[in-house]
Amino acid sequence: MLRVKLICIGKIKENYFRQAMAEYEKRLRPFCAFECIEIAEERLPDNPSETQIISALEKEAVKILAKASGAIFSMCIEGKQLSSLDLSGKMAEVMQYPGEMTFIIGSSFGLSENVKRAGQMMSMSKMTFPHTLARVMLTEQIYRATQILANTKYHK
């Protein structure tokens, strides 16, 4: 069975986003082993310098890369945009080998270059979304991709 990890910086504060995540996690169980891993965001002052931001991102990178495995997809604005069908194709490839994939969503400051270089960069849109909403949207797309692969009627 395909293993899918979603590594995210920070916790979801809004109950409605937690409920949406729980629903998609439940729906995913028959199709893949899904795990959402939350990593604490590094503390920064109100107006951090570029050096402080880079340092925080590097500290987060160490924690992220310690948990990441298989095919790694970093979510970042400069990444490649995929359709739902393209994502299901990537999942089909990963199911052959290594059978495990990790998606990474960073903090509001993004991701370290080390994380981006660890795998492929992917973008959901040229638009900017709150990270908690992006987490729900990505989880729905992972579910949609499993449904495409299972040839169900969910994706029309």
CB 88 within 8 A of CB 130: no
Residue 99 gets the label, from left (phi > 0), alpha (psi -120 to 50) or beta, of left
Q: Smallest Cα–Cα separation from 32: which of 120, 119, 91?
A: 91
Which DSSP letter does residue 124 get? S
Say what the pLDDT of residue 152 is.
95
Q: Mean pLDDT in the chain?
A: 96
The residue-averaged pLDDT of 15-41 equals 97
pLDDT at 155 over 90: no
Contacts of 54 (CB under 8 A, 6+ apart): 112
The residue-averaged pLDDT of 40-69 equals 97
Contacts of 112 (CB under 8 A, 6+ apart): 54, 57, 58, 60, 61, 64, 106
Each residue's pLDDT tens digit, 89-138: 999 999 988 899 999 999 999 999 999 999 999 999 999 899 999 999 99
Say what the pLDDT of residue 47 is.
95
Which DSSP letter does residue 64 get? H
Tell me yes or no: is domain 3-149 CATH 3.40.50.150: no
Each residue's pLDDT tens digit, 55-100: 999 999 999 999 999 999 999 999 999 999 999 999 999 998 889 9
Say what the pLDDT of residue 135 is.
97
Confidence of residue 156 (pLDDT cuts 50, 70, 90): confident
Distance CA 125, CA 151 (A): 25
Domain positions in the chain: 3-149
Percent of the chain with pLDDT over 90: 94
Distance CA 122, CA 127 (A): 13
Say what the pLDDT of residue 100 is.
97
Say what the pLDDT of residue 74 is.
98
